[in-house]
Amino acid sequence: MYRPLKLLTGTANVPLAKEVSEYLGVSLSDMLVTKFSDGEVRVQINESMRGGDVFVIQSLSYPANQHIMELLLIIDALKRASAGRITAVIPYFAYARQDRKDRPRVPISARLLADIITVAGANRVVTIDLHSPQIQGFFDIPVDNLYALPVIYDYINKHLDLRDPIVVSPDAGGVERARQLANKLGCGIAIIYKRRPEPNKAEVFDVVGEVEGKEAIIVDDIIDTGGTVVAASNLLLNKGAKRVIVCATHGVLSGPAVDRLVDSPIEKVIITNTIPVGEKSFHKLEVISVAPLLAETIKRIHEEDSVSSLFS
Residues noted as catalytic: 194
Neighbouring C-alpha atoms within 13 Å toward the C-beta of 216: 34
DSSP H helices in the chain: 14-24, 64-80, 109-120, 149-159, 175-185, 227-238, 257-263, 291-302
Neighbouring C-alpha atoms within 13 Å toward the C-beta of 156: 30
Q: Alpha-carbon distance 39 to 63, whole Å?
A: 13
Q: Is residue 84 helix, strand or coil? A: coil
DSSP at 88: E
Q: Alpha-carbon distance 293 to 298, whole Å?
A: 9
Q: Is residue 228 helix, strand or coil? A: helix
CB count, 10 Å around CB of 3?
A: 10
Distance, C-alpha 4 to centroid of its chain: 27
**Encoded amino acid at 115, one letter:** D
Phi, psi of 220 (to 5 degrees): -145, 170
Alpha-carbon Rg for the chain in angstroms: 20
The residues with which 53 forms a beta bridge, in sequence order, are 5, 85
Instruction: Output the CA torsion sign for 195, 111, 271, 188.
Output: positive
DSSP at 125: E
Are 276 and 158 a contacting pair, CB within 8 Å? Answer: no
Are 121 and 79 a contacting pair, CB within 8 Å? Answer: yes
